[in-house]
Structure 1
Amino acid sequence: MIIWKGFGILNIVIPGILFVIVSAILSSLGLKSIDSRLPLAFVFIVSGVIIWHLGKALNAKSGKVLVDMETGEHYRMGTEHSLFFIPMHYWGPVGLVLGFILTVATIFT
């Protein structure tokens, strides 16, 4: 079961879309013989960068608290965008690390 808030589901959608695009480009160029870990590493690295910046932009407003001057009530602005209770932008470095691990594994095997 996948648990997300706001646009946190984009942590799964973005790598999925990038994988389909990269696979289509490689098959149209006739490069099916390369190691399958390299395109996957590329997808993880690029999606990690995209998710980091997108998550930072989306979550920038979610932590702000407005105070009603007349009543003194506090209102929290926006929704935190998260996946499995982890803010969206923290999934970016996870993608980068996975991409670099796949790249190193491809080089040394």
Structure 2
Amino acid sequence: MIIWKGLGILNIVIPGVLFFIVNGLVSLLGLDIIDARLPLAFVFIVSGVIIWYIGKALNADAGKVLVDMETGQRYQMGFRHSLFFIPMHYWGPIGLVIGFILIVATIFT
């Protein structure tokens, strides 16, 4: 079961869409002879960067508290966008690490 809050599902959608685009381009350009891990590494690295910036932008105002000076009423701005209880922008570096691990695995095998 996938657990997300807000737009945290984009952590799955962005790499998924990018995966289909990259695989289509690899097939279209006739680059099927390269190791399958390299396009997958590219997908993880690029989607990691995209997710980092989108996550930072979406979670920028999350948790800020505004106070109405007249009534003293407190209002909390927005909420954190997350996937599996991890804020969205933290998935960006995770994608980068997975991408670089795939590159290293390709080199040493």
Cα separation, 2, equivalents of 1:4 and 1:61? 18
Determine if the alignment matches structure 1 residue 58 to structure 2 residue 23: no
* TM value normalised by structure 2: 0.96
Determine if the alignment matches structure 1 residue 104 to structure 2 residue 107: no
- In structure 2, runs of 5+ residues without a counterpart are none
Q: Aligned to 2:31, what secondary structure does the other structure show?
A: coil
Q: Aligned to 2:33, what secondary structure does the other structure show?
A: coil
Shift of 1:79: 2.1
Alignment of 1:73-92 (within 5 A): 73-92=73-92
Alignment of 1:30-69 (within 5 A): 30-69=30-69
Cα separation, 2, equivalents of 1:63 and 1:33? 49
Shift of 1:71: 2.7
Counterpart of 1:18? Answer: 18
- Residue identity (%): 79
What is the number of equivalent residue pairs in this alignment?
Answer: 109
Cα separation, 2, equivalents of 1:70 and 1:83? 38
Is 45-54 or 73-82 further displaced after alignment? 73-82
Write out the 4+ residue segments of structure 1 that deviate beyond 4 Å after TM superposition. none
Shift of 1:17: 0.5
Cα separation, 1, equivalents of 2:65 and 2:3? 25
Counterpart of 2:72? Answer: 72
Shift of 1:64: 1.3
Shift of 1:32: 1.1
